[in-house]
């Protein structure tokens, strides 16, 4: 048997979505264990997430899906956008949500009908790189790989991973192709040599209920986080890092932070209403909302208007550095994830707990599997879609020091259950490669 060669078919808007973070952490971990790894980017790129000596190539640009039928000409023209800084490209996308919606609708149309040109290009790349294991970021792009496998010109298989498919299903529904979309996903799962991965038990059940995916053809494997290697920095240093970005932040008031995509399904408006309720009760706090967007800034702008009407001060920021991100985790009284979405997992919640910070999440979806394990909890849950209960649970985290200390004492234990090493071990075991040799490079420390 030939040595395993892993290719990640990475579909991203360029923002730091949980799915792309999960996959690039897995790619880096496999590379550091000595396996050969290559990245094929679709739509945009996040090269800064990838170890510098992992080869990276662009399979297609988002402009390929500018029209109802995939266009190689527009794809080629779109590659010229790489001449512009990534931050500028992200700002354009965020300011033009209709462009993003059109691209995604047409991409879903291509998933249902096929894109022979893209599949041929993918096959050429894999033959060149000797790929044996293809790992697409989302199950929805597996239909581009299935024809390559069926042509049998190159021996490989692909692993279907479900982590956010319902967002793409919404676009398929808008063009009246939801049944076709679900059919294609079921076909790609059936055609893979391995059961598909779902990123939580709840998500596997949801995929079965909503898309008809056979539960016997799915395995639950949680995403992985990078556990902090150094002890937490002292509070003064953490606050200084935040104060440089938020000059009017006060060191003596509790900091409550939302950290994640500022998109409609994340429920930031629920958090704003809850904070207003707490202000009426006399509970003092400082609210920070930090993160980029995958679908434009229209929702974030609406939330800013809501905050103005509620007369609550919010510290808003889009993308931040890793230093600031760590300081936010460590300095916050708690991290709130108020999603209205049945979240497949909760990467931000796991990361917050790895820094010793309790979390507050809805009692709905795979995110509930992150905050409580074997009777130990690293956070609280509120009734989904209920701002009043969100306010009540948030007040407990702010005012009840004994409860906060109990939760803090469990956070690191819970976070360790979701380490990148555990993810990598589980994926290799799932692929039957746990004992496979990895001779390509030395293991990186």
Q: Is residue 443 part of a domain?
A: no
- The β-bridge partners of 317 are 290
Tell me how far apart the alpha carbons of residues 296 and 298 are, in angstroms, rounded to a whole number: 6
Residue 196 and residue 122 share a domain = yes
pLDDT surpasses 50 at 55? yes
Residue 177 and residue 87 share a domain = yes
pLDDT surpasses 50 at 258? yes
Residue 245 and residue 218 share a domain = no
Contact 369, 223 (CB under 8 A): no
Average the pLDDT over 436-444 and give the result: 52
Q: Which pLDDT value is given to residue 441?
A: 46
Confidence of residue 322 (pLDDT cuts 50, 70, 90): confident
Average the pLDDT over 91-117 and give the result: 89
Q: Which pLDDT value is given to residue 231?
A: 59
Q: Is residue 247 part of a domain?
A: yes
pLDDT surpasses 80 at 437? no
Q: Is residue 445 part of a domain?
A: no
Tell me how far apart the alpha carbons of residues 227 and 31 are, in angstroms, rounded to a whole number: 18
Mean of the per-residue pLDDT values for the chain? 92
- pLDDT tens string 399-409: 999 999 999 99
Q: Which pLDDT value is given to residue 216?
A: 95
Integer distance in angstroms from the first to the last C-alpha of the chain? 28
Chain mean position to CA 81: 24
Q: Is residue 260 part of a domain?
A: yes
The range of the structural domain enclosing residue 171 comes to 5-224+420-430
> Which residue has tokens 């001779």?
439
| pLDDT > 90 fraction of the chain, expressed in percent and rounded | 81
Q: Which pLDDT value is given to residue 95?
A: 74
pLDDT surpasses 50 at 162? yes
> Which residue has tokens 């266009």?
71
Tell me how far apart the alpha carbons of residues 379 and 371 are, in angstroms, rounded to a whole number: 6
Contact 224, 19 (CB under 8 A): no
Q: Which pLDDT value is given to residue 88?
A: 78
Order of strands across the sheet with 161-162?
A: 161-162, 196-198, 218-220
Burial class (CB in 10 A: 0-12, 13-18, 19+), 322: exposed
Residue 257 and residue 178 share a domain = no
Q: Which pLDDT value is given to residue 445?
A: 37
Q: Which pLDDT value is given to residue 166?
A: 84
Burial class (CB in 10 A: 0-12, 13-18, 19+), 265: middle
Write out the DSSP string of 44-61.
Answer: S--GGGS-TTS-EEEEEE
Confidence of residue 442 (pLDDT cuts 50, 70, 90): very low
Residue 252 and residue 202 share a domain = no
Q: Which is nearest to 13 in space by CA: 140, 101, 127?
A: 101
- pLDDT tens string 11-32: 998 777 889 999 999 999 999 9
Q: Is residue 441 part of a domain?
A: no
Q: Is residue 134 part of a domain?
A: yes
pLDDT surpasses 80 at 438? no
pLDDT surpasses 90 at 120? yes
Q: Which pLDDT value is given to residue 235?
A: 67
Residue 424 and residue 411 share a domain = no
DSSP 419: B
Average the pLDDT over 358-375 and give the result: 96
pLDDT surpasses 90 at 232? no
- pLDDT tens string 406-428: 999 999 999 999 999 999 999 99
Query: How many domains would you assign to the chain?
Result: 2
Q: Is residue 438 part of a domain?
A: no
pLDDT surpasses 80 at 119? yes
Q: Which pLDDT value is given to residue 230?
A: 66
Chain mean position to CA 251: 31
The token pair that represents 331 in the structure block: 């300095």
Average the pLDDT over 225-245 and give the result: 80
Residue 118 and residue 147 share a domain = yes
Q: Which pLDDT value is given to residue 63?
A: 93
Residue 310 and residue 204 share a domain = no
Residue 74 and residue 15 share a domain = yes
**CB-side neighbour CA atoms (13 Å) of 19:** 25
Residue 170 and residue 22 share a domain = yes
Q: Which pLDDT value is given to residue 440?
A: 52
Average the pLDDT over 211-231 and give the result: 91
Residue 206 and residue 148 share a domain = yes
Residue 148 and residue 42 share a domain = yes
CATH of the domain at 312: 3.40.50.2000
Q: Is residue 88 part of a domain?
A: yes
Confidence of residue 98 (pLDDT cuts 50, 70, 90): confident
Tell me how far apart the alpha carbons of residues 92 and 232 are, in angstroms, rounded to a whole number: 36
pLDDT surpasses 90 at 233? no
pLDDT surpasses 50 at 388? yes
């Amino acid at each position: 048997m030939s040595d395993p060669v892993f290719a990640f078919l990475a579909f991203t808007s360029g923002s730091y979505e949980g799915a792309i973070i999960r996959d690039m952490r897995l790619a880096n971990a496999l590379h550091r264990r000595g396996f050969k790894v290559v990245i094929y980017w679709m739509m945009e790129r996040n090269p800064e997430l990838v170890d510098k000596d992992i080869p990276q190539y662009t399979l297609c640009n988002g402009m390929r899906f500018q029209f109802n039928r995939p266009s190689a000409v527009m794809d080629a023209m779109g590659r010229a956008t790489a001449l512009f800084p990534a931050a500028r490209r992200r700002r354009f996308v965020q300011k033009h949500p209709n462009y993003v919606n059109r691209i995604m609708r047409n991409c879903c149309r291509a998933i249902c009908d096929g894109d022979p040109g893209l599949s041929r290009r993918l096959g050429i790349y894999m033959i060149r790189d000797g790929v044996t294991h293809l790992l697409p970021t989302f199950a929805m792009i597996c239909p581009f790989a299935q024809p390559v496998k069926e042509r049998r010109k190159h021996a490989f298989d692909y692993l279907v991973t479900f982590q956010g498919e319902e967002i793409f299903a919404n676009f398929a529904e808008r063009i009246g192709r939801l049944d076709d979309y679900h059919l294609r996903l079921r076909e790609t799962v059936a055609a893979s040599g391995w059961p598909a991965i779902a990123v939580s038990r709840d998500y596997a059940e949801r995929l079965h209920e909503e898309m008809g995916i056979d539960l016997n053809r799915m395995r639950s494997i949680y995403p992985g986080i990078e556990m902090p290697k150094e002890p937490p920095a002292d509070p003064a240093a953490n606050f200084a890092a935040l104060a440089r970005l938020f000059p009017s932040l006060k060191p003596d008031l509790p900091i409550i932070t939302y950290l994640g995509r500022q998109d409609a399904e994340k429920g930031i408006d629920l958090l704003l209403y809850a904070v207003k309720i707490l202000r009426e009760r006399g509970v003092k706090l400082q609210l920070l909302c930090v993160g980029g967007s995958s679908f434009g800034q229209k929702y974030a702008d609406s939330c800013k208007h809501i905050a103005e009407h509620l007369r609550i001060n919010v510290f808003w920021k889009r993308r931040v550095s890793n230093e600031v991100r760590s300081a936010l985790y460590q300095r916050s009284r708690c991290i709130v994830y108020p999603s209205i979405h049945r979240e497949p997992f909760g990467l931000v919640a796991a990361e917050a707990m790895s820094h010793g910070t309790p979390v507050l999440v809805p009692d709905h979806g795979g995110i509930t599997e992150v905050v409580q394990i074997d009777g130990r909890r690293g956070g609280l849950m509120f009734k989904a879609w209920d701002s009043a209960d969100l306010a009540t649970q948030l007040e407990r985290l702010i005012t009840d020091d004994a409860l906060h200390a109990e939760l803090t004492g469990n956070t690191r234990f819970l976070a360790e259950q979701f380490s990148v090493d555990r993810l990598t071990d589980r994926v290799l075991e799932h692929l039957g490669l746990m004992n496979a040799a990895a001779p390509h490079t030395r293991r990186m420390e």
